[in-house]
Amino acid sequence: MLIKMIPELGHFALIIALLMAVVQTIMPLAGATTRRPLWMAYGHPMAVGQFLFIALAYLCLTTSYAVDDFSVANVANNSNSLLPWYYKLSAVWGNHEGSVLLWSLMLAGWGYAASRFSAGLPRDMIARVQGIMGFISVGFLLFILLTSNPFARLLPNVPHDGADLNPLLQDVGLIVHPPMLYMGYVGFSVVFAFAIAALLGGRLDAAWTRWARPWTNIAWAFLTVGIALGSWWAYYELGWGGWWFWDPVENASLLPWLTGTALIHSLAVTEKRGSFKSWTVLLAIFTFSLSLMGTFLVRSGVLTSVHAFANDPSRGLFILVLLAITVTLSLGIFALRAPRVSHHVSFSWLSRDALLLVNNILLVIMTVTILLGTLYPLILDSLGLGKISVGPPYFNALFVPLTVIMCIFMGLGPVARWKRMAPREVIGKLWLAGGAALTLGVVLPLIYRGEWNLWASLGIVAALWIVLPMMRDLVDKTRHGTTRLAGLRKLSLAYWGMVLGHLGIAVTIVGVAVVSNYASERTVRMAPGTTVEIAGYRFTMNELVSRRGANFIADTAVLDVHNIDSGRHFQMRPEKRFYLATGMPMTQVALRPGLLRDLYVAMGEDLKDGSWAMRIQYKPFVRWLWLGGLLMALGGVLAIIDKRYRRTQAAGHAQPASRQHIEAQEVTP
Amino acid sequence: MTPKRRQKLLVILGCLVLAGLAVGLTLYALRANINLFFSPVQIAQGDAPVERTIRAGGMVKEGSVIRDPQSLDVEFQITDYVDELAVAYSGILPDLFREGQGVVVIGKLLANGQFMADKVLARHDENYMPPEVAQALEEAGYSAADYQAKAAEVGQRLEL
């Protein structure tokens, strides 16, 4: 009996969570304004309770999936009794309702974490952060309960079996990509809450940047991994071998990443030098707003893509209103409360401050251009001015040159000093690295391929220009220790985080430059016995077989691959699957991954005369794209572990003398 | 000018130059890379530009798909049940490409009226007509009733 009531239990749990979120919004915010500790004390228990009840609701939905309760519409539409258990569990977020529930669960989780690990903060600051997190949560829980109830039943006509999960989603990518991406999206809510709380409380000092930095880094690290996983998934799942399509949905995730990256850098300036304060707060607001906008684009059905499950206009409208409220309220608070007497910290043109300013400007320009290209067709369409699409050439034409300019400054940034630096010192530090980057950039493609390619060279020069000055700096920094090793140990984890982050960008750039310029692809007609040669590999189709999987039947091509140089042999088995429940065909790619190259074979279509159209690709250095993403995320995590932040949390706002000096200069109304 | 003022001026000038550069590049790139959408009706009326990358869409006409037996060249017609458009393509068609189903093709219209597609996207829609095409038909003065029954009939017959 109880087991039959699980969906209702989940529904009730959501309603209780909503009520708790309402209390969490009102009491701490009111308490902080009227200075009542008892009211403020509501915040933490409500954050805990809200998290527990949303987790309970989530567990209920997952249970319904696990036990194949097809009386729940969500389960019936997105699962099937034949679906393997791990896809049943991840099918929960493979649809609109479930993914919004996951969003809310993560929001509550972040809210709980922010509340739990902020023991050292001033009480009113914690209360305000809790209140703002509660406010966002109210919005999303209302959204679920009013427009997207995952527990809606199909009674009394319960289907015998479910309609099955979209075959494109039946992949390990579904298990890892959405949770990571959401953790990133939602994680920026914490920084946002800190920024608004600081504005409300007039505490926009160096201390808040120290609290905000670890949260920014961790959210950014999750988002980085999420985007990298999404790119990797699209690469092998869609069967084209592309890794970035400038699809609006991809852009939606890249936008908060770009402003998030800018935020990380501007937080550094605000913490160390006390400048850029208002700008940092503004970036925090923009980053979270862009996360919300991404959710709107993906969840509203204005786009047609694998990601867009919903096409109920009321849902889109709801998120749009939520987005409008968030942006208007937060910009309003910013306009009223941002420091009016701005605090001038002068710096010269050749200083880390100036370079980070350039970094921020470039990242914002990138964000604006991508935003424009993404929204332009939607705006024209909604105004009835015609259906256009903005293709990848637009994005490449802007993003590539901007990235190159960014790389030039990235080489300088890590070695530059705060405040000012003599040009001679910069040249002295960099001439060797610059020369080496140029030479190697020109020579390496020649050695690698025997033919020179401008773009590949440019990419390698840019990557080396980022890495080599950092190496030089490492050598300089360890020179004075008793031994090099001791010198290396003295460097802070935050510094290593920066090094890894920049190294990650360089690795990704090498990947992009090489795979874009040296990849080869052939689309051919193949029958058993046909041989095709590509980039030093000989592919021979051996036979065509059929096999039956758990919930599909498949035509499998067995290809013998022969590496002409090394003489090694191996087999590749691409498949064309036909999923029984949905009747949908799906291409299962055969991959031979490697650090220096991927081999990629996809079955196209049955040409009915015993032959198949096949797409065979050679993708050099494609793994470097995602490897770079992982390095960046690892850098973000390392920077959080730095003991500087733990000390701050333990000791509260007790700051070293030098910080107090800066704080004393802040005048916040 | 005090050094502080000069610095400020430089900041502002730098921002202006960068912003100007960005706006210029953006507008140039946008203008060169916008792909307009046309339905077979509009193309038959001569609305679509020749030799420029555009998008076109409709339903794959029943019995019109012809594969070259040697290569991967394929020809087919797309229809909005008012007019038709002949499309030539070389390569792998998407998994969901089928006669009686919606597609969107990206490519260039040749002077002889044939469409050379660089990309073919399957556009499955339960209303049997890609939304872009439905809208284009509406603008050309055809109501949904004119084609929907026919499209549904063909779609259902081919699905069985």
DSSP string, A33-50: HHT-HHHHTTHHHHHHHH
Instruction: Check whether residue B46 and residue B117 sit in a common domain.
Output: yes
Beta strands in A527-589 (DSSP E): 531-534, 537-548, 552-563, 569-572, 575-579, 584-588
Q: Given A387, A390, A585, which is nearest B30 (Cβ)?
A: A390
Task: For residue A119, count CB atoms less than 10 angstroms from its CB and return exposed for 0-12, middle for 13-18, buried for 19 or more.
Answer: exposed
Instruction: Check whether residue B7 and residue B52 sit in a common domain.
Output: no
Q: Could B35 and A391 be called an inter-chain contact, meaning their C-beta atoms sit closer than 8 Å?
A: yes
Instruction: Check whether residue B14 and residue B57 sit in a common domain.
Output: no
Kindly report the length of chain B: 160
Q: How far is CA B98 from the centre of its chain?
A: 18
Rounded CA separation B137/B151 (Å): 13
Q: Taking the model in full, what pTM does it have?
A: 0.90
Backbone angles phi, psi at A349, to 5 degrees: -70, -25
Kind and range of the H or E element at A456? helix A454-478
Instruction: Check whether residue B69 and residue B22 sit in a common domain.
Output: no
Rounded CA separation A99/A83 (Å): 19
Instruction: Check whether residue B106 and residue B46 sit in a common domain.
Output: yes
For A94-97, the CB contacts below 8 A with 24+ separation are A94/A165, A94/A166, A94/A169, A94/A174, A94/A178, A95/A309, A96/A148, A96/A299, A96/A309, A96/A310, A96/A315, A97/A144, A97/A148, A97/A149, A97/A150
Q: Could A394 and B96 be called an inter-chain contact, meaning their C-beta atoms sit closer than 8 Å?
A: no
Rounded CA separation A163/B27 (Å): 46
In chain B, which residue's Cα lies nearest the Cα of A346? Answer: B4
- The residue range of the domain holding B13 is 1-34
Rounded CA separation A305/A535 (Å): 33
Query: What's the complex ipTM?
Result: 0.78
Q: Give the DSSP letter string of A365-412.
A: HHHHHHHHHHHHHHHHHHTTS--EEE-HHHHHHHHHHHHHHHHHHHHH
In chain B, which residue's Cα lies nearest the Cα of A305? Answer: B123
- Single out the residue of A176, A169, A2 nearest to residue A79, CA to CA: A169
Q: Is the Cβ–Cβ distance between A139 and A292 less than 8 Å? A: no
Q: Could B92 and A349 be called an inter-chain contact, meaning their C-beta atoms sit closer than 8 Å?
A: no
Q: Given A386, A391, A587, which is nearest B95 (Cβ)?
A: A587
Instruction: Check whether residue B53 and residue B115 sit in a common domain.
Output: yes
Intervals of chain A under pLDDT 70: 1, 301-312, 340-344, 481, 646-669
Instruction: Check whether residue B5 and residue B70 sit in a common domain.
Output: no
SS3 for A385? coil
Rounded CA separation A111/A187 (Å): 9
Instruction: Provide the token pair at A409.
Output: 């400054």
- Single out the residue of A571, A546, A576 nearest to residue A559, CA to CA: A571
Question: Nearest CA of chain B to the CA of A298: how many Å?
Answer: 18
Rounded CA separation A139/A153 (Å): 24
Q: Given B69, B92, B132, which is nearest A613 (Cβ)?
A: B92
Rounded CA separation A200/A33 (Å): 9
Question: Nearest CA of chain B to the CA of A384: how many Å?
Answer: 10
A373 contacts on B by Cβ (under 8 Å): 30
Q: Does A520 touch chain B (CB under 8 A)?
A: no
The DSSP bridge partners found for residue B107 are B54, B117
Instruction: Provide the token pair at A4.
Output: 């039959």
Q: What is the pLDDT of residue A511?
A: 96
Q: Does A304 touch chain B (CB under 8 A)?
A: yes
Instruction: Check whether residue B6 and residue B64 sit in a common domain.
Output: no
Question: Nearest CA of chain B to the CA of A382: how many Å?
Answer: 13
Residue type, A119: A
Instruction: Provide the token pair at A386.
Output: 């015609």
Q: Is the Cβ–Cβ distance between A14 and A137 less than 8 Å? A: no
Q: B42: which residues sit within 8 A by CB, 6+ positions away?
A: B48, B136, B140
**How far, in Å, are A185, A254, A499, A510, A636 from residue A632 at the CA level?**
17, 15, 9, 14, 6
Q: Given B15, B25, B92, which is nearest A361 (Cβ)?
A: B15
- Which residue numbers of B belong to the known binding site for heme? 124, 128
Instruction: Please compute, for residue A16, the number of CA atoms within 13 A of its CA located in the half-sphere on the CB side.
Output: 17
The DSSP symbol for A153 reads: B
Q: Could B19 and A365 be called an inter-chain contact, meaning their C-beta atoms sit closer than 8 Å?
A: yes
Q: Could A388 and B34 be called an inter-chain contact, meaning their C-beta atoms sit closer than 8 Å?
A: yes
Instruction: Provide the token pair at A335.
Output: 């306009």
A346 contacts on B by Cβ (under 8 Å): 3-4, 7
- Single out the residue of A160, A99, A128, A139 nearest to residue A35, CA to CA: A128
- Single out the residue of A255, A251, A216, A217 nearest to residue A231, CA to CA: A251
Instruction: Check whether residue B19 and residue B71 sit in a common domain.
Output: no
Query: Could you give the number of structural domains in chain B?
Result: 2
Q: What is the pLDDT of residue A307?
A: 57
- Single out the residue of B145, B125, B117, B140 nearest to residue B41, CA to CA: B140
Q: Is the Cβ–Cβ distance between A347 and A419 less than 8 Å? A: yes
Rounded CA separation A142/A619 (Å): 46
CATH number for the domain that contains residue B140: 2.40.50.140
The DSSP symbol for A417 reads: P
Antiparallel, parallel or unpaired: β A584-588 and A575-579: antiparallel
- What is the band of B70 on the pLDDT scale with cuts at 50, 70, 90? confident
B28 contacts on A by Cβ (under 8 Å): 397
Mutate to test the interface with A, among B5, B33, B89, B96 (most CBs of A within 10 A): B33
B74 contacts on A by Cβ (under 8 Å): none
Q: Could A389 and B135 be called an inter-chain contact, meaning their C-beta atoms sit closer than 8 Å?
A: no
Question: Nearest CA of chain B to the CA of A148: how many Å?
Answer: 21
**Which residue has tokens 């890495």?**
A467
Cis peptide before B3 (omega within 30 of 0): no
Q: Does B95 touch chain A (CB under 8 A)?
A: yes
SS3 for A523? strand
Question: Nearest CA of chain B to the CA of A238: how many Å?
Answer: 10
Question: Nearest CA of chain B to the CA of A397: how many Å?
Answer: 6
Rounded CA separation A627/A509 (Å): 11
Q: Does B13 touch chain A (CB under 8 A)?
A: no
**How far, in Å, are A65, A98, A99, A174 from residue A61 at the CA level?**
6, 8, 11, 17
The DSSP bridge partners found for residue B119 are B106
Instruction: Check whether residue B93 and residue B127 sit in a common domain.
Output: yes
Instruction: Provide the token pair at A229.
Output: 């996983």
Q: Could A369 and B132 be called an inter-chain contact, meaning their C-beta atoms sit closer than 8 Å?
A: no
The DSSP symbol for A621 reads: T
Instruction: Check whether residue B92 and residue B152 sit in a common domain.
Output: yes
Q: Which residues 116-145 of chain B have a CB within 8 Å of chain A? A: 123, 132, 135
**How far, in Å, are A54, A71, A94, A505, B8 from residue A15 at the CA level?**
9, 21, 23, 44, 54
Instruction: Check whether residue B75 and residue B113 sit in a common domain.
Output: yes
Q: Does B5 touch chain A (CB under 8 A)?
A: no
Antiparallel, parallel or unpaired: β B53-60 and B73-79: antiparallel
